[in-house]
Chain A
Amino acid sequence: MAEPRSRDTPAARLDVRPDPGSAPHDSAHTHVTGRSEYVDDRPMRPGELLCGLIYSPYARARLKRLDLSDALRIPGVVAAITAADVAHNLWGSIVVDQPLLVEEEAQYAGEVVAVIGAETPEALRRGLAAVRVEWTRLPAIRSIDEAITAERFIGAERRIERGDAGAALQAASHTLEGTLVIEGADHFYLESMAAVVYPGGDGPFEVHSSTQHPTETQHVVAEALGVPFSDVSCIARRLGGGFGGKESQAAPIAAYAALVARASGRPARLVLGKDDDMIVTGKRNPFQIRYRVGFDGDGRLLALQAVLHSDGGAYADLSTAIMERALLHCDNAYFIPNVEVRGRVCRTNHHPHTAFRGFGGPKGVALVESILEDVAGVVGRDALDVRRVNVYAPGRDETHYGQTVENNLLPSLFESLEERCEYRRRREEIRAWNGDPSNNPRGLSMTAVKFGISFTTRFLNQANALVNVHRDGTMQVSTGAVEMGQGVNSRIAALVAEQFGQPLDAVRMLATSTERNANTSPTAASSGTDLNGAAAVAACERIRGRLASLAARLRDLPEDAWPSRTAGLGTQPELTVADTPPPLPVRFEHGRVRVGDGDAAWSIGFAELVQEAHRSRISTCEYGHFATPHLAFDKIEGHGRAFLYFTQGVAASEVEIDRWTGEVKVRRVDLLMDLGRPVNHALDMGQVVGGFVQGMGWVTTEHLHYDENGLLVSHSPSTYKIPNVQDTPRIFNAELVFNEGNVANLRRTKAAGEPPLMLALSVWTAVRDAVSSARAVRVGRREPIAMAIPATAERVLRALEAETFARVEGGRTG
């Protein structure tokens, strides 16, 4: 199959469309009435145990003593699990390097050393308190710098290069260099980690887990128990949010419950409280990026050299793949002729950091958007003009890893949003406003996203689906995709209904289960619908082929010779059909199957046709498999087609800073995204608006604070501040562009899950714009503003009042 070449950059006229009237989420009704069942809503079974965790309070410590005997003496405490009870005490998604339970030495504060199972919450509380555990504290590595000095890394250095960045920097008329600090963030899914395990015996261990990756959870549980994979089933009905946090790290939680279930022979439930969840599980990887950039007097980028270091935490988890995606997104929406980016994951004594919406992409995007903001200041141009000079465009459309940016809407998206948000007029207003130093400083900034869609690890780009068409014409569908709010089931249901011309309510999506769909990939990388939807459609196409052939045969038979009239009698020769469709056009629409065109058309009801198929011994059930074509990325060379396509968008944010406190208010956001031809406009818009606000939290108020032992202190919403309803933009205009050009993907849709988060970086760059213009009024010139992510109120006030803080911290007055 030839690689598809999508249409060229479309004309500047973008087709911005409102919601045509979307179906609600397929769980909306049970959500609003409180009847949606999550793991912890499962009724308690007789004898079921509640589990709790004992973990290290120190970043690094040797286990001196672990005595569970007092705990086990407490009435109602039934099981106490340690490393000695684990059959295979090592797991890992990429590198198998992480113990499930500490054996000798804890590598992070929050690392689990024992699991207690008890009959009641009170017995569990007392049991946990009665565990005697003593630690010897050891020196720990708590920062990226310390890890670099100690040369503690995970995996090899990764590098992507094009051209000669060193020479181009030498030759450039302008250069800038700096260090960008990006801190971690907690997923803060509302449903914390949860698992209920029913012990095997009369069948496999039945694991109900809040996991984005049922297959890996199944495997980790099986290995922990020392049983074959066939002895464990993992079921994920729905998740109360995941955002990447439950991609790898749900597995050990399920394993802990499974170990208690096996030891006790009873059902076991482990539901973490929010505090334990935040302490035990990893976060978005913190990054520290040193960079040099060369550009000309117009602000056109000529060369980028950057060294990215991430804090991987104590174990590999997914950090090396996250680093790879960061390196692949250092260009974002902009053409940089000479690039040398290198990345290294540091091994520290923090929780093992993990996937979080964007998966490294946000770090690359933050880097180049930050650079462009500063470049604009140096060349004295508006940052939007500098971005538009650099944006991928015809002739300048090959990424630093050698993939062509096809179906590139970026220049038109910039142009269109500039007009729609009245950028120039507002820029002038803000300039005048900021001229008065008694006003709270305001800032305005437009940033873009170009996010690569596909797992960069090729084998993950596959999916399977089971489609059963029942004899009344209704369907049950299951795939490996996990429903976690994003609406993947709603989209797949719509795709399947469309295939058979049936109404949406004829399709029932089943819980994701390794019993129906094995060897699945995680629901991650924004790819849930792309992969699993394509697998479901592949299954539908084969069923359709057989049904279409049958319909064509039935048209030519007298009705009294149809199988439903004769099959029981055996008087007629049996009808046989191939998977391939007949030569006549056959359409599935409005509940009927239509053979032929115009006056000669003949039709049969869908359910009736399914009945006839069954009587003809023709299967109306199918298993579909899909593997994304055309991927050709060489990880060693850092070159080739890493992604099937790109999702693109732009956003302009205006902020106001409280000049006395540094608090940031987002006054207005305008956002435009290209999501191809959405299956469900409202669900896509939900991803866009929700992803943006989630990203706002990451770049403003969400701040992880650790104590001197390396234990997370901000481990609940009273100290870790995700956006509240009052933090949302005062004016928020988010719109979708209708784009038919993405021929590479299923039904010309585009993935929506992760990309919008990165547009929230426009809030961060707008804060820097505000600080920079406020300081320009004071010190007389615009200068680059160093600002870490998140730009907390304290950091903003420090940037605004650097002199005051210098005075205060020098011991004098505020």
Chain B
Amino acid sequence: MRDYALIHVNGVPREVRGRDAFMMLADWLRREVGLPGTKIVCAEGDCGACTVLRAFAPRGAGGSPPRFEAVNSCIAMVAQMDGSHLVTVEGLQEGDVPAPAQEAMLRCHGSQCGYCTPGFVMAISGMLEQHPVGEIDDRVAANHLTGNLCRCTGYQPIVEAACAAAAVDRRSVGDRYGTAEAFSRAEEAMDRGLEIAHEGRRVFAPTTLEEACAFASRHPECRVAGAFTDLGVPINKGRAMPPALLSLHLIPELLEMEDDGRRLRVGARVSLASLRRRCRDASPEFARFLNLFASPQIKNVATLVGNVATGSPIGDTLPFLLVAGGSVHVASPPAGRGPLRRREIPMTELYRGYRQLALEPGEIITHVAFDHDAGDETIRLYKVSQRKDLDITTVGAAFAVVWDGPRRIASARVAYGGVAAVPLRMPEIEAALVGELDPRKAESIARAIGDAVQPISDVRGTAAYRRVLAANLFRRFATEVLDG
């Protein structure tokens, strides 16, 4: 076991021990490493001022080195960055020459007060790592900047800067910092598990699932730390760090996706960004939807398993998983000797109440699985929020229907988020949908949905608004499929 996390910052390897390992990455960079260019504003992953670049090569991945991607450093815990290669705004400039993203932001007047600027510079740099010269237009650029807020410029000059930077030939951050030496140093360290304890807190990152399950059952109070994007927020807002954290980043099988051509099985550490790339063919509507929800910074680390395990009634992926035959795979230690106990829980049986999951103590979610789109099926996913992008859902809906001829429905699945304490499948509505669909029937089903849901009023909208939205999302679906 190692008692330190190995992190490269701007090419310099650092072994982080003790108290520092339990810090948030942004605080550590600013206070301990002495790099205050990275800013903290919201401390919850909504503003992007803390954006840094991260590359992480899983153990034994081999092959081509991974890309440097934009991530939020304010909701990442230092120990979880073990094995990562980080680049901050201070690491971009080479000598006296600003990097293309920096030069373009300067020339296009992309900074005013400057507080969001390092975050935008890093988000643009992350975009440049992903796209060859000349591939960026306004739309692509804006998609890469949805995770960053600016209150001064109105964004127009920043989008111009992103496009201008993309037109310049450049040496990539990967070429500069993603050296074979750095990667092999990290890989060598990651062959050993990590365990750091400090003043009653403990973080454990084993290299096998067996060890992980054993730890989880020995420490029932432990939290599984995936990407930390959900756990980090309450900690930043004054809650204490959980006493025991289990990190799965050193377990290779959890970083993989398996696809048997019919069903996709997604490991607990697969990022939403890689999932989206993988889904483009198997589940195009889900891939499109993943574009809308969360920021690039979040999607580069956050996982589907995390979204499922958090169990929020407005979890963005949950209505989809409910209509796509979703299930979770869980593992727990064997009673005696022998292999791990594993079982599969259908999504429809997972949620018992508000954020309550049907898991036994010591059980860890290892995978989430769901069906590919069937050929004769129409799937539509909707999300309504106060703001179009990077916002928490007011109401979400998923509709999947199998056709039995034009306008004739053979079977249907309908799920809603944000209308009850748990994400909801609606069997009565599904049954009513079977048969011929015409505008009159669609209207009566819309009204039935409005009647069936039990939403609450909160900061995102009143119960009445949610009721009308729930009905209207079905009206939209019906209009789209009847017109289309």
Binding site for B on A (CB under 8 A): 22, 24-25, 27-38, 40-41, 43-44, 121, 125, 128-129, 187-192, 238-241, 243, 273-275, 438, 484-487, 660-661, 663, 665, 682-683, 685-686, 689-694, 701, 703, 705, 713-714, 716-719, 721-728, 732, 792-794, 797-798, 801, 804-805, 808-809, 812-814
Contacts and interface: CB of A to CB of B under 8 A. Distances in A.
Contact of B46 (A29, A243, A716): A716
Complex A-B, nearest 10 residue pairs according to Cβ-Cβ distance, in ascending order: A34-B37, A814-B450, A485-B113, A240-B115, A693-B154, A814-B471, A31-B114, A485-B112, A34-B89, A717-B46
Given A190-B116, A241-B113, A718-B44, A713 B450 contact: no
Interface stretch (B101-109, B244-252, B399-407): B101-109
A717 B44 contact: yes
Contacts of A192: 41
Contacts of B465: 794, 797-798
B470 A814 contact: yes
B390 A487 contact: no
A22 B109 CA distance: 9
Contact of A721 (B121, B240, B391): B391
17 contacts: A24-B107, A31-B117, A32-B101, A32-B117, A34-B37, A40-B36, A190-B116, A190-B149, A239-B113, A689-B154, A701-B387, A716-B44, A718-B46, A724-B146, A725-B146, A726-B142, A814-B449
B179 interface: no
Contacts of B151: 187-190, 241, 243, 690, 694, 722
B83 interface: no
Contact of B109 (A683, A722, A794): A683
A41 B146 CA distance: 26
A38 B115 contact: yes
B55 to A, nearest CB: 19
Contacts of B102: 32-33
Contact of B149 (A37, A719, A724): A724
A32 B112 CA distance: 10
B43 A29 contact: no
B437 to A, nearest CB: 17
A25 B36 contact: no
A689 B459 contact: no
A661 B465 CA distance: 9
A660 to B, nearest CB: 4
B377 to A, nearest CB: 23
Contact of B156 (A25, A40, A665, A732): A732
B158 A725 contact: yes
A34 B88 contact: yes
Contacts of A129: 238
Contacts of A665: 388
B242 to A, nearest CB: 14
Contacts of A794: 461-462, 465
Contact of A663 (B93, B388, B446, B470): B388
Contact of A805 (B107, B449, B464): B464
B283 interface: no
Most buried by A among B30, B115, B150, B392: B115
A486 B112 contact: yes
Nearest to B113: A485
A726 to B, nearest CB: 4
Given A34-B37, A35-B90, 13 more contacts: A27-B111, A33-B92, A34-B118, A38-B39, A189-B151, A190-B47, A660-B476, A686-B157, A722-B149, A724-B146, A725-B158, A732-B154, A805-B468
B297 interface: no
B156 A487 contact: no
Contacts of A661: 384, 469, 472-473
B14 to A, nearest CB: 19
A726 B146 contact: yes
Given A797-B465, A813-B447, A813-B471, A690 B153 contact: yes
B379 interface: no
Contacts of B391: 721
Contacts of B237: 273, 275
B310 interface: no
B158 to A, nearest CB: 7
Contact of A25 (B38, B111, B471): B111
Nearest to B121: A32
Contacts of B332: none
B104 to A, nearest CB: 9
Nearest to B35: A34
Contacts of B118: 31-32, 34
A701 B110 CA distance: 24
A79 to B, nearest CB: 19
A485 B111 CA distance: 8
Interface string B437-474: 00000000011111100000001111011011111110
A317 to B, nearest CB: 21
B208 interface: no
Contacts of A36: 114, 117
A746 to B, nearest CB: 22
Given A793-B384, A797-B468, A191 B146 contact: no
